[in-house]
Structure 1
Amino acid sequence: MSSSHGRALLHLAAAVDLPSTDDAGSHVELARLAETGGLDFVTLDDTFARPGPDARPGPDAFDVLSRVAPATHRIGLVPTVATTHTEPFHVRDAVTALDRVSRGRAGWRIDVPAGEGEVAEAAAWLWDGVPGSPQGHPVRVVDATEGPALPAAARHADVVLVRAADPRQVAAVRDRLRASAAESGRAPGSLRVLAGLIVDLGDGEHAAEPGHGGGGPRQTVRGPLYRGGPVDLAELIAAWHADGVADGFHLTPAEPRRDLERLVNGTVALLQHRGLFRTFYPGSTLREHLGLARPARPVRSGPVWNG
């Protein structure tokens, strides 16, 4: 599907993390809001403990998104899985269960530390023959901002996140990913590369703060941050899209409820009006939203796994 500008339509996703609550109902509310905007998927981190003297276990991403699934209809649901804490067959079972309950809308965001590419390889192999997953295997999302994750992303990812304030850096990583994917025997076009930004839309419709918005995001200790209004954010997204920087954006609201609402009702609406983002879901599965083919089942001897 192409936009009126001749390029493929944007892909948009958002984080729905709520650090201050474990209430699944609040996450349902955010996911439904994102779905009204036609976003491809939402992500949710799986936190093992909260910092500070009152540290306690955080929300289980699989549990929360399993509750979100029956309350939504089209939007993709992508929990983060830390490969250092979870064995591949446990990942397979949990994500496949989410894919079933959501009827083909599940993915998993793989946290791949340096040297952990073997885990992604093992998980990929475990999915090749698993019956009952509506998508063949759920969509694999990898953050390739850090260099060590790039080889695993090029071999296994369907969607790659790149967090950078400079569009040239995102474009450079995208080029490296595509070249590496081709070397691994994959079609470079089978990867969807999304630029990752934190967005602070607290300024509403006011002019963007210098160094943000129209001047572009800036790097902070939390990651690349855009601060301004939804109109300026739409302009930034449209400009990066026109330059072919990435296939879309993964946006993390600085203030979840406020910023996601302004993102959907302001930025997304403007992008839809300009013909850069879809106004309806073309199918029912996350792979269909992303324009990804159902994966074939290659014949493999299996990876070496020492878990």
Structure 2
Amino acid sequence: MSDGKFLIGVDLHGAGIHPQAWRRHDSRAEELFTSKYWTDHLEIVDRAGFDVAFIGDSFALQSGAGSELGRLDAASIAARAAASTHSIGLIPTVTVTHTEPFHISKQIASIDFASHGRAGWEVEVSEDRAVADAFGRKPVQPAASLWREADDAIEVVTRLWDSWEDDAEIRDAATGKFIDRDKLHYIDFEGDFFSVKGPSITPRSPQGQPVVAIRVGDGSSVAASRADIVRIAAPTLDAAAVLAGRVRRAVVAAGRDPATVLVVLDLEVLVSDTAAADLDQLNAWAEQVPESIAFHGDAEGLRVLLEQIFESGVMDGVTFRPLALASTLPTIATYVLPQLSWSPCSRTGLLRERLGLPRPVNRYTAKEAK
């Protein structure tokens, strides 16, 4: 990350990413479908100095015997938390499959306004046949087709975010003109999946374009060409370094400056003085195979690992994925982050500015200037 910054993120996912986390006595599972559960966690990480919170979502029910079932809408959680948090970036997952990009553009831009410039969008697709049947709009698609559709959707969304110039609102009471219509633009997008004329009904948001995040997987090429934050998962730090290098080379091949794209490593964490016993209990209910580097230990051990990752210089940050959310978050907030040797990102200003990301130039303004 530029300027020596190092992003600290957290993935808020139900009672935790372990499917049996809700069975712990301290999980607060009875509150999962209340706003207080989510705002309490987001306020903890906000006060602690976390940079961003990824709020997980999916159209599919969770899988696995005994898993918690059901979700609240991630974008709605982010909108609710905008009023009770002050600095943390709010990045909900919004799945593009079965969703119109016009709705996504308006939804995320509205969160950017509500949070005074702290919004983002984590792009996801759905390969699930049951989800396709639930919507009934189209049959299930293969992953390659889904990500081509996602690429088109991101293009439409970002064009819509640009369809109002920054100074399109003039609010001239004397003449009765609220906007300068010459500064609103039809996007006239025609692609394989969408045909969208535009413009948006929402003005250009505080960041110009909210931050876009994508997890590397089947959508790797889309992440390289579209994402501001690329999330990666790897079993070891050496493997993570190799994957990060691959992502940055792909960013260059896509014609982008790698200094403007943050590569952030997922860390699956269970942090307590009894972490080994806690993990044994979770896995006794149902064993989970880690998707990335997993840390199970005390706060000091996690701090040492973070210092190692930071000093290696190969990552632009980490995203904690707590196995058990309610117990792990306060521990990290109280006993890990305050002990780190480096300063967190700035806690004031627009999210893009704080993360060292450039403000996107409005494509329609730039086109007129040529």
Higher Cα radius of gyration:
2
Contact 2:14 2:71 in 1 (8 A): no
Write out per-residue CA displacement over residues 20-76 of structure 1, whole angstroms, 9 at most, x where no aligned residue: 411111111111110111111111112435447999642011111111110111111
Q: Give 1:98-247 correspondences, 5 Å limit.
A: 98-112=111-125, 113-115=143-145, 116=147, 117-130=151-164, 131-144=203-216, 146=217, 148-203=218-273, 220-247=289-316
Contact 2:272 2:299 in 1 (8 A): no
| The one of 228, 251, 255 aligned to 2:320 | 251
Contact 1:124 1:156 in 2 (8 A): no
Q: Post-superposition shift, 1:156? A: 0.8
Q: Post-superposition shift, 1:141? A: 0.5
**d(CA) in 2 for partners of 1:56 and 1:16?**
15
Write out per-residue CA displacement over residues 138-182 of structure 1, whole angstroms, 9 at most, x where no aligned residue: 0001101x2x31111111110010011211222222222222222
Moved more, 169-178 or 226-235: 169-178
Pair 99,239 (structure 1): closer, same or farther in 2 beyond 3 Å: same
Q: Give 1:32-43 correspondences, 5 Å limit.
A: 32-43=43-54
Pair 243,53 (structure 1): closer, same or farther in 2 beyond 3 Å: closer
**d(CA) in 2 for partners of 1:46 and 1:283?**
27
Pair 285,199 (structure 1): closer, same or farther in 2 beyond 3 Å: same
Q: Residue 292 of structure 1 aligns with which residue? A: 357
**d(CA) in 2 for partners of 1:72 and 1:173?**
33
CA RMSD of superposed structures (Å): 2.8
Write out per-residue CA displacement over residues 171-216 of structure 1, whole angstroms, 9 at most, x where no aligned residue: 222222222222222111001111001100133699xx9xxxxxxx
TM superposition score normalised by structure 1: 0.83
Write out per-residue CA displacement over residues 234-267 of structure 1, whole angstroms, 9 at most, x where no aligned residue: 1111112211221110111111121011111111
TM superposition score normalised by structure 2: 0.69
Runs (5+) with no aligned partner, structure 1 = 210-218, 301-307
Establish whether residue 269 from structure 1 lines up as the match of residue 338 from structure 2: yes
Identical amino acids, percent of aligned pairs: 29
Contact 2:162 2:204 in 1 (8 A): no
**d(CA) in 2 for partners of 1:25 and 1:56?**
19
What is the SS of the residue equivalent to 1:35?
A: helix
Instruction: State the one-letter code of the partner of 2:4.
Output: A
Pair 204,61 (structure 1): closer, same or farther in 2 beyond 3 Å: same
Instruction: State the one-letter code of the partner of 1:277.
Output: S
Q: Residue 80 of structure 1 aligns with which residue? A: 93
Contact 2:274 2:297 in 1 (8 A): yes
Runs (5+) with no aligned partner, structure 2 = 16-28, 126-142, 165-202, 280-287, 366-370
Q: Post-superposition shift, 1:82? A: 1.3
